[in-house]
Amino acid sequence: TAERRGRWGGDAVPEGFIRLSVGAEDPDDLVADLLRALDETAG
């Protein structure tokens, strides 16, 4: 959350990277979702 990032002095993820928080998702579903999101972002 923004509050948590503020307490820790910002986001520790360098520019050009993304942070993923993965739980109990099926790995195949996760990969499919990521690929779909990247395709939409790339146009």
Q: Whole-prediction pTM value?
A: 0.53
Q: Which residue has the higher pLDDT, 37 or 4?
A: 37
> Residue 35 pLDDT more than 90?
yes
Please measure the distance between the N-terminal and C-terminal CA atoms of the chain and give it in whole angstroms.
28
pLDDT tens-place string over residues 3-33? 777 777 666 778 888 888 888 889 999 999 9
Give domain limits for the chain: 17-43
CA 18 to chain centroid: 5
Q: Cα separation of 10 and 23, whole Å? A: 23
